Structure formats: C-alpha cells, structure tokens
Amino acid sequence: MPKTSKESAAETFRLEGYEGHFDDLEGGYTVGFETYTQTADLTPLFKGLPDDRCQCSHWGYVLKGKVVFKTADGEEAFQTGDAYYVPPGHTPEIFEGTELVEFSPTDELKRTLEVVGRNLEAGE
C-alpha cells in the first residue's frame, strides 16, 4: 500500500503565509499537508472556474486552527479535531495557525490548481 508524509511528499509549495506538501496516491487521490501562517480568504484564486468557486471535492482533517468553507447554501466552519467533506462549489477562508491534511481527487485538483496558478501569477 502506498504511503506518504509531510516530510516525504513529492511536491512542496511555499507562498507568503502558506506551505503545502503534496503527494499523489494510487487510486486517483492527492494528499496535501498544509500550514497557514496568515489568515487568507482564498476566494479570488478561483476566479474563472464555474461560479468562481473550487470545483474539486475534498476530505480533510483539521490538525490545528480553523477553516471556513463558503458555498451557495451558506458557510460551515471546521476547527481543531474536525474531519470534513466539502463538495465542489466552495471557496475557503483559512485562519492563521491552521494545519490540515486534505485528500482530493487528483484530476479535479490539477484542473483547479491550473486556474489557481494563473490567478496567482496575475496577482489575484
């Protein structure tokens, strides 16, 4: 069976206020170990996707801190110790000091991150 950890993950991304370690697992899922050192409303990064919202589903666990997912139906907060599922059609707000582990379908995540990357380059 495949395994990974924050330390052994194949890809690492660092931005101001963020560090993420990612690895693709067999079966079509990507695991991300993410740390946020600044509060961030990530809504602008999804501009250009349907409804300007993330179109990838995620299963996660909040190791520390707080994340809020906003959908057309409202918003829901998850805090330290909470496991969650969020369907496509959301935008996240993540708070300073948050650490989480998140599993996402690899193909959908890659399509989403292409748009996020373009928005980051454009200064969104």
Q: What is the pLDDT of residues 89-123, one digit of tens each?
A: 999 999 999 999 999 999 999 999 999 999 998 88
Q: Which residue has the tokens 């695991």?
A: 31
DSSP string, 72-104: TTEEEEEETT-EEEE-SSEEEEE-TTEEEEEEE
pTM of the prediction? 0.92
CA–CA dist 21, 8 (Å, integer): 8
What is the number of domains present in the chain?
Answer: 1
Tell me the pLDDT of the chain averaged across its residues. Answer: 95
Q: Which CATH number belongs to the domain containing residue 46 in this structure?
A: 2.60.120.10
What's the confidence (pLDDT) of residue 124?
64
Q: What is the 3-state secondary structure (H, E, C) of 14-67?
A: EECCEEEEEEEECCCEEEEEEEECCCEECHHHHECEHHHCECCCEEEEEEECEE
pLDDT tens, residue by residue, 11-42:
999 988 999 999 999 999 999 999 999 999 99
CA–CA dist 58, 7 (Å, integer): 21
Residue 115, domain extent: 11-121
- 7: tokens are 């330390």
What's the confidence (pLDDT) of residue 123?
80
Is 3 within the bounds of a domain? no
Is 1 within the bounds of a domain? no
pLDDT at 9 over 90: yes
pLDDT tens, residue by residue, 52-73:
999 999 999 999 999 999 999 9
What's the confidence (pLDDT) of residue 97?
98
- The stretch 66-83 carries a mean pLDDT of 97
